[in-house]
Structure 1
Amino acid sequence: MPAANIAAEAPGTIATLLSFGLVGFGSLALLEKFIPVIPSYVLFMLLGMTVPDGSGLGLAILVTTIGSAAGALGWFSLGWLLGPQRAARIVERYGKYVFLKPSFYEKMTNSYRNNHFWVTLTGQVIPTVRIYLALPAGVLRLDPRSFTVATAVGTFLWNTPFLCLGYALRGTPYNPVHVGFWASVILFIAEGSIILFFSLRRKRHASQS
C-alpha cells in the first residue's frame, strides 16, 4: 500500500499529525509516552510504512528518538517536582486510569537500587516500563545528564527496529499489529538473554574474587 494511502487510513489524530511530516512523527513519539492508547510497536511500524525513502527513514529514526526521549524527560521532570510522597499518593489514586498500578510503580522504583544508567537504558526496551520508568527516576532525582543519555540510547534501540520493519513491509499484506507483536517478543527475549549473560558473568567474577 502506498505511503499516502497508509497515512490517510490511519486513525484521525494520527493521520492529522502525519500530515505535518517529520514534525508529526516527533509529536506522535512524544505523545505516545503520555497517552499509551496504541502499542508503540504498532505506532512505529505504521510510521515506518509512511516513510517515502531511505533518507527519510534515517530522519524518522532521529526525530522519533528525540520525541520519545522528550516524553520521558517530561515524566522525569514531573517526578522531580512531585517528590516521593506526592508521587506515591497520585499513583495510588489515579494510576489505575493509565495502567500504572502502585505495585508496578514500587517495583520500578526499587529497580534503581542497581546501576542507574543500565536500568534506564534497558527499561526503554521493555513494554509499559519504557513509558513510566522516568517517573520514579525523577522522584529519586537521578543525574539528569546520565538519564538523558541512557534514555536516548534506549529509545533509539526500541524505535529503530519497528520503524525499519514498517519501512520494509510497505506494499505487503502483512498486518503491522501481528508483525510488531512478534518483533517486540523477539526483542524482549534478546534483551533478557543479554541481561542474564552479564548478570551471570558478574556473579562468576564476584565468586572468583
Structure 2
Amino acid sequence: MRGIEQYVIYAIYHHSYLALFSFLSLGMLGLPVPDELLMAFSGFLISIGRMTLAKTLLVSSLGSFAGVNLSYWLGRILGPPLFERLGPYLHLNAQKLNRAEDWFLRFGLKTVVAGYFFPGFRHFIAYFSGISKLPYRLYALLTGIGAVLWSITFISLGRMLGSHWKEITIILHHYLLRGSILLGIVLLFIYLWTTKQTNTINK
C-alpha cells in the first residue's frame, strides 16, 4: 500500500482536481485506493493554498458519488447472473437470495449513508443495493447526501490537522476498518434473527 499512497499523494499534489476525481471514483468501486488519506491530504493542500475548499468539496463529492453509483449499476446488471452461477458453490439458492434482498430493502437503507464512513463496508453496500434493485432515485439521493457529508468530514480533518494530517488519518482508518467488521457482524446477527423470527411465524 505504501507505493500506492505515495503515487496518490504525488498525483493529487501535481494534478489536484482531476486526480482527486479519478482516484475517488476508482476507490469507491473497491480498488485499493486510500480514500480517507487522499481526502485528508486534499484538506491539507487547501490549508496551504494549493487547492480551494469549494472546488475540492465539489470534485470529491462528485468523484465518490460517481464511484458508488457505478458500483450500484454493476451490481444491478451483473449481480443476478453472477449469483446464479456461484450460488450452488456458496450454498445460495433463489429463495435465500430473495430473502436477503427483501431484508436489505426493509432494514438496509439506514446503512447507505452511514456506510460511506466504513472502508470495505461501503463497497458491499453499493453493490448489494444494485443487486437488491433498490430504487435508483432513492439510492442516488442517499449516496449524494453521504458523499457530501463524507467529503466535508475528511477534508475538514485534513485542513484542521495541517502537517499532522497523515498520522491521524492512518489511526482513524484503522478504527473505521474495525468498525466496518463490527457493523457487518451486527447486521448479520440482525438478519439471522429476523429471518428466524419470520420462519417461526410462518410455521
Check whether TM > 0.5.
Answer: yes
Q: Which residue of the partner structure matches residue 71 of structure 1?
A: 67
Does structure 1 conserve the Cα–Cα contact (< 8 Å) formed by 2:37 and 2:166? no
- Runs (4+) of structure 1 exceeding 6 A deviation are 90-93
Query: Do residues 143 (structure 1) and 135 (structure 2) align?
Result: yes
Provide structure 2 residue ranges, at least 5 long, that are not aligned to the other structure.
184-203
Query: Do residues 16 (structure 1) and 8 (structure 2) align?
Result: no
What TM-score, normalized to structure 2? 0.65
Identity value in percent: 20
What TM-score, normalized to structure 1? 0.64
Q: Which residue of the partner structure matches residue 86 of structure 1?
A: 82
After superposition, give the CA deviation of every residue in 1:9-34 in whole Å (9 maximum; x if it has no partner). Answer: x6125423542222221112112113
Deviation at residue 92 of structure 1 after TM alignment = 9.6
Does structure 1 conserve the Cα–Cα contact (< 8 Å) formed by 2:44 and 2:165? no
Name the Cα RMSD after superposition.
Answer: 3.7
Does structure 2 conserve the Cα–Cα contact (< 8 Å) formed by 1:17 and 1:24? yes
| Mapped partners of 1:59, 1:131: distance in 2 | 25
The residue type equivalent to 1:165 in the other structure is L
> In structure 2, do the counterparts of structure 1 residues 174 and 41 end up closer, same or farther at CA, with 3 Å as the change threshold?
closer
Query: Do residues 47 (structure 1) and 70 (structure 2) align?
Result: no
| Mapped partners of 1:31, 1:92: distance in 2 | 31
Q: Which residue of the partner structure matches residue 156 of structure 2?
A: 164
Deviation at residue 184 of structure 1 after TM alignment = 4.3
Number of matched pairs: 170
| Mapped partners of 1:54, 1:16: distance in 2 | 13
Q: Which residue of the partner structure matches residue 96 of structure 1?
A: none
Deviation at residue 155 of structure 1 after TM alignment = 2.2
| Mapped partners of 1:69, 1:147: distance in 2 | 11
Matches within 5 A, 1:1-209: 11-51=6-46, 52-53=48-49, 56-87=52-83, 89=85, 112-115=104-107, 117-172=109-164, 175-181=167-173, 184=176
Secondary structure of the 1:79 match is helix
| Mapped partners of 1:43, 1:183: distance in 2 | 17
Structure with more of its chain in helix, by fraction: 2
Provide structure 1 residue ranges, at least 5 long, that are not aligned to the other structure.
1-9, 94-101, 193-209
> In structure 2, do the counterparts of structure 1 residues 83 and 120 end up closer, same or farther at CA, with 3 Å as the change threshold?
same
Moved more, 48-57 or 158-167: 48-57
